[in-house]
Amino acid sequence: MSVRKQEGHGVLEARGIIKTFTVRREGSTRELRAVYDVSLSVAPGEIVGLVGESGCGKTTLSRIMIGIEEASSGQVLYDGRPVVGRADWRALRRSVQYVFQDPFTALCPTMRIGQALAEPLAIHGLCPAAERAARVARMLELVGLHPDVSRRLPNQLSGGQRQRVNLARALMLEPRMLICDEIVSGLDVSVQAQVLSLLIELQEKLGLGLIFISHDLRVIRYLCSRVLVMYLGEIVEQGPTEAVFDNPGHAYTKALLAAIPDHSRALAGVEHANS
């Protein structure tokens, strides 16, 4: 897999992001440092991996990058320009979509799939109402689902189908980037492979930039040209995926790699399947 060079500024950038939460416990309060001085940039069409143990701040960082959470300090830039006011954030949230870990809770249980897919268009006042159903059907097809799925409810779909619906929903506004937060970790291994190959297909077809968050280093190696390793809120190591994995510099990265039971064999398998 070739490493795409970054040209000019990224589509989405974070600069010096710090996030502290004030947590109350047994009457006293303390500051919890969730993200500390993190910078990252994603070029158009680039796939960047973000890896790190549970609680290291991956989701918090993503939420800040799409404006769901406010940074304590630091800056988010879209297309090289700082994102400041409401209009800026609204434009960013149209172009950068977040795909959730749990495909079930991400969908409203009482809303039919067709309506859930049309909703982003309605919210942003795009696409005349009469044309939305056709657009929904095309999108379902793009993610490998039958158009009839639009009449179903989320609980009438399998986990893999639900995650396809989530991808479809994220793509309805024709974004330039997706942030995929552990999108396959709740799925069976065989279904994971199907969803990942769909993701790669869509990424190539649509030229999407991706931040791909995962605990699974094999998946990161398979998908990402560049990887950032996060530990206790900080980026401790980053670089081209193969360089980082073949020659980890930080003790935490080494520990992560060593924690894969059959690291070399598993990766050899992925490379074989990928060749």
**What whole-number distance in Å separates Cα of residue 31 and Cα of residue 57?**
14
Give the nearest distance from C-beta 257 to ligand ATP in angstroms.
17
32 binds ligand ATP (CB under 6 A): yes
Stretch that binds ligand ATP, among 53-61, 166-174, 198-206, 261-269 (CB under 6 A): 53-61
Nearest partner of 224 among 45, 53, 61, judged by Cα: 45
**Is residue 258 a contact point for ligand ATP (CB under 6 A)?**
no
Separation of alpha carbons 38 and 42, rounded Å:
13
Q: Which two tokens stand for residue 271?
A: 């490379």
Q: With respect to ligand ATP, which residue has the nearer C-beta, 32 or 134?
A: 32
Q: Is 180 in the site for ligand ATP (CB under 6 A)?
A: no
Task: Write each residue from 80 to 119 as x if it is in contact with Mg ion (CB under 5 A), else as -, in one continuous string.
Answer: ----------------------------------------
Query: How many residues sit in the footprint of Mg ion (CB under 5 A)?
Result: 1
Least distance between Mg ion and beta carbon 259 (Å): 18
Nearest partner of 53 among 172, 213, 178, judged by Cα: 213
Query: At its nearest, how many Å lie between ligand ATP and the CB of residue 188?
Result: 20
Residue 21 binds ligand ATP (CB under 6 A): yes
Instruction: Tell which phi-psi region holds residue 132, choosing left (phi > 0), alpha (psi between -120 and 50) or beta.
Output: alpha
What does DSSP say about strands 226-231 and 47-51: parallel, antiparallel, or unpaired?
parallel
**Edge to edge, what strands does the sheet with 226-231 contain?**
96-99, 177-181, 209-214, 47-51, 226-231, 234-240
Residue 54 lies near ligand ATP (rule: CB under 6 A): yes
Alpha helices in 23-158 (DSSP H): 58-65, 86-95, 113-123, 129-142
Look at residues 180, 172, 176 and name the one whose alpha carbon lies nearest to residue 137: 172
Q: Which is nearer to Mg ion, 59 or 253 (CB)?
A: 59
Q: Which of 10, 44, 49, 57 binds ligand ATP (CB under 6 A)?
A: 57
Burial letters 245-268, b for 16+ CB under 10 A, else e: beebeeebbeebbeeeeeeeeebe
Q: Residue 59 Cβ, how far from Mg ion at the closest point, in Å? A: 3
User: Which residue is closest to Mg ion by CB?
Assistant: 59
Under the binding rule (CB under 5 A), the answer on residue 59 touching Mg ion is: yes
Q: Which is nearer to ligand ATP, 56 or 267 (CB)?
A: 56
Torsion over CA of 261, 263, 266 and 272, rounded to 10 degrees? -170
Determine, following the binding rule CB under 6 A, whether residue 214 of this chain makes contact with ligand ATP. no
Based on the shown chain and the rule CB under 5 A, indicate whether residue 214 belongs to the binding site for Mg ion: no
Indicate the SS3 state at residue 43: coil
Q: How many residues bind ligand ATP (CB under 6 A)?
A: 12
* Per-residue tokens: 42: 């994603």
**Binding residues for Mg ion (CB under 5 A):** 59
Binding interface with ligand ATP (CB under 6 A): 21, 23, 32, 34, 52, 54-60
